[in-house]
Amino acid sequence: MDKKVIITIVIILVVGVSGLLGWYFLQEEPAREQINQISQQVSPTTNTATITRPPANTVLIINGSFNPSIVTISIGDTIKWINNDDATRRIASDPFPASTDLPGLVSEDLEKGGSYSYTFETAGEWGYHDGLNPIKKGRIIVE
């Protein structure tokens, strides 16, 4: 085979594999742009967008993501998680599956519309995950 043909085939393969890997990893990280955007409504008469943010110390579960995924609070503050997703979710402290970093931080299964609240009494950084889908993660920073 001609050397130019071989080089062309190798370049096409490298570009193709790179594109597939990039697409795959983008599918694993859902909607980074949604992290602080909760919902967007467009007014039909003025064509303007309004962004609605959750109340302070509230984490919404939307499209399989915690929004916001990182929250900073003070000792004694309470975080409330609300499941706005179609899938059932369960809040649990890291690490999976033991959930031992903060043993009290484990919810019951949350159906759509369900909520769970937890009061943080100790300073630190507390990772949590969806106990039913542990690749979904968030973090609470207690100062």
- Give pLDDT tens digits for 28-55: 444 444 444 443 434 445 455 445 566 7
Q: Is 42 inside any structural domain? A: no
Q: Is 129 inside any structural domain? A: yes
Instruction: Read off the pLDDT of residues 51-95 as tens digits, 9 standing for 90 and up.
Output: 556 677 999 999 889 999 999 999 999 999 999 999 999 999 998
Residues 20 and 62 in one domain: no
Alpha-carbon separation of residue 111 from 8, 19, 70, 91, 132 (angstroms) = 53, 36, 22, 12, 12
| Pair type for strands 58-62 and 78-83 | parallel
What is the C-alpha separation between 11 and 18, in angstroms, rounded? 11
Domain interval for residue 12: 3-30
Q: What's the number of domains the chain is made of?
A: 2
